[in-house]
Amino acid sequence: MPVIRLPSWREVLEGPWALRLRSGSTGPWLMRGEANDDEIDVRFVAGSAARTAADALAELGSALEVELDSFDSLVSTRTDRPLVLLVLDTDKLLVEDPSQLAPLVAALRNTAERVHLRVVFQARELPPDAEAVLSEFGVAEIAA
């Protein structure tokens, strides 16, 4: 069984806007357990519940506790402390609407440029098109 290195919260918060975590879904839960709630606001986004654009808007809105009418409306996100979205099962995210993955990732990156948002995309494996989108928008691999 391969060993997966989880990033430290310092790596997440001081590193690139998004990281690619090649682990099972236990990895993000372990990360969440190590977070100091006074310093970091950690939210889960379930890719399995966000298979279409409409479902993704609903899932992100639920995680952020806001109403979203488009991915572009993510840039209005406000936070008083660092916000980290742990996207579980990224391989299922927008699987029924794959053309919407690039607009979603672009909106997340634009939001990260405005507020202290970091995103961790978790999936053991991704389809090549999804890997290409994450790479295009500067999602970094976690160093071994």
Q: Output the furthest CA–CA distance in the chain (Å, rounded).
A: 42
pLDDT digits 0-9 by tens, 5-46 = 889 889 999 999 999 999 888 889 888 888 888 899 999 999
Q: What is the pLDDT of residue 84?
A: 96
Q: What is the pLDDT of residue 13?
A: 93
Q: What is the pLDDT of residue 143?
A: 67
Report whether pLDDT(1) > 70: no
Which domains are present in the chain? 9-141 (3.30.370.10)
Euclidean distance between CA atoms 16 and 11, whole angstroms = 9
Q: What is the pLDDT of residue 66?
A: 92
Q: Average pLDDT for residues 92-97, to the nearest whole number?
A: 97
Report whether pLDDT(144) > 80: no
pLDDT digits 0-9 by tens, 98-138 = 999 999 999 999 999 999 999 999 999 999 999 999 999 99
SS3 of 47-114: the string is HHHCCCHHHHHHHHHHHHCCCCCCHHHHHHCCCCCCEEEEEECHHHCCCCCHHHHHHHHHHHHHHHHH
Q: What is the pLDDT of residue 105?
A: 98
